[in-house]
Amino acid sequence: MLLVVAARNEATALLCGLNPGVEPPAEWEIFPVADDVDLVLSGVGKANAAGATALVLDPGVHGAVLNVGIGGTLERDAPAEQLGVVVGASESVFADEGVAGPGGFRSLAEFGFPPVPAMGERDAGDGVAGDPVLLRALAGLGVIDQTGVVATVSSCSGTDAGAVGVAARTGAIVEAMEGAAVGLTAMRLGTPFAEVRVVSNTTGDRDRQVWDLPGAMAGLERIGAILRG
C-alpha cells in the first residue's frame, strides 16, 4: 500500500501509530514505513498531491493507494459533533474546478471538460470513486466510521455561503485539499484508491469554526496503529 499524506504534522501523527520513532521523509520521497507499506509526504494541495503520487506510485509494487489526512465537516446540523469522526470517501470530487459566474458555479464537466475520464461503466465527470473493496476492508478493520462524498477544494470554506455551496453542488460531507487529485492519478495508473479523512474542524464563517486538531491527530495515530496490525 502507498500512503499519500499532505502535511508533515499529519504524517508524524500517522507514523506514531504505524511505526513509532520514525520521522516523516522529505517531500516527494518514497519511504518504506512498515511491512508492505510505503509513504510519501506530498505537500498540501492538488498539484503537490498529484505530482508526488505520480512520481512514486509503482503499479507493479503498490496494490492500493490511500490518501490519509484531516478535513473539515460540511455538515450543518450539529457540526461540532462530527469532530473526530473518520470518513472514507465514497467519491472524491473536484469541487471548485470550473467557472463561478453570476448564475452560480458550473463545473468543468458541465462545460464538457471532465477532469475524470470515463472508465468501465462509469461516465466521465468531476469525481473519483473510492474503491469499494478497499473501503469495505477499511471499515472492517475499524479505520473508518462512515462513508460519504469528500470534496477536494483549492480554497477551504471560510464562509457559511462557501460551505453551503460546496456541499450543495457536490453532496460532500467533508472537504479537504488533495483526495481527488491523488485518486485521479491512481486511477490513470490503474491502482485502487481510497481517501480517509479525520474531521478536525467545522467549516463556515471562520470566527465561528470549532477545531479539535489534537483529537484529529490522535485519530490519525489510531489509524496508523490499525494499519500496522
Along the 229 residues of the chain, how does pLDDT read in single tens digits? Answer: 999 999 999 999 999 999 999 999 999 999 999 989 999 999 999 999 999 999 999 999 999 999 999 999 999 988 899 999 999 999 999 999 999 999 899 999 999 999 999 987 788 999 999 999 999 999 999 999 999 999 999 999 999 999 999 999 999 999 999 999 999 999 999 999 999 999 999 999 999 999 999 999 999 999 999 999 8
Query: What per-residue confidence (pLDDT) applies to 119?
Result: 83
CA neighbor of 86 nearest in space, from 224, 185, 219, 226? 219
Burial of 40 (0-12, 13-18, 19+ CB in 10 A): buried
20: number of CA atoms within 13 Å, CB side? 5
Contact status, residue 89 vs residue 199, Cβ threshold 8 Å? no
> What are the C-alpha distances in Å from 26 to residues 6, 15, 106, 123?
12, 14, 37, 37
φ/ψ (deg, to 5) at 6:
-80, -55
CA neighbor of 54 nearest in space, from 23, 28, 15, 20? 28
- Give the integer Cα–Cα distance in Å for 166 and 72: 12
Contact status, residue 33 vs residue 3, Cβ threshold 8 Å? yes
Cell numbers given for 220: 490519525
CA neighbor of 17 nearest in space, from 6, 33, 5, 1? 33
- What number does CATH give the domain 2-228? 3.40.50.1580
φ/ψ (deg, to 5) at 26:
-65, 160
Contact status, residue 25 vs residue 33, Cβ threshold 8 Å? no
Cell numbers given for 100: 463561478
